[in-house]
Structure 1
Amino acid sequence: MGRFGVTEILVILAVVLLLFGGKKIPELMKGLGSGIKEFKNASKDEHATEKKEETKE
């Protein structure tokens, strides 16, 4: 039940295309990509901070 099939993904993509249009989608994807990149960097920094604290104790 929790998995998406090909049909569901195509329907979601069609709805996104209808809502935002072809010109806005590259901007949305760029923003999504930069958001994911920032999240990964923040989680790496948090993990490195935890390791430093463990070695100090």
Structure 2
Amino acid sequence: MKKVYGTASEALEGVLHDGMFIAAGGFGLCGIPELLIAAIRDAGTKDLTVASNNCGIDDF
């Protein structure tokens, strides 16, 4: 890893585009990538396909 970002939004800047496929990891309730999910949501990117082994729980 060459660079450490202060926030998930900074790390995703200029990377996201409409219609892209995103694979996100996680591990049970303790490994939900909350900051990543929020940053993607806040970016306003549309028509995403997201694959995850456990990206969240019901009503999260």
TM range (shorter): under 0.3
Larger radius of gyration: 1
| Structure holding more helix per residue | 1
- Please give the TM-score of this superposition, normalised by the length of structure 2: 0.23
| Structure holding more strand per residue | 2
The answer to which structure, 1 or 2, has the higher relative contact order (CA under 8 A, 6+ apart) is 2
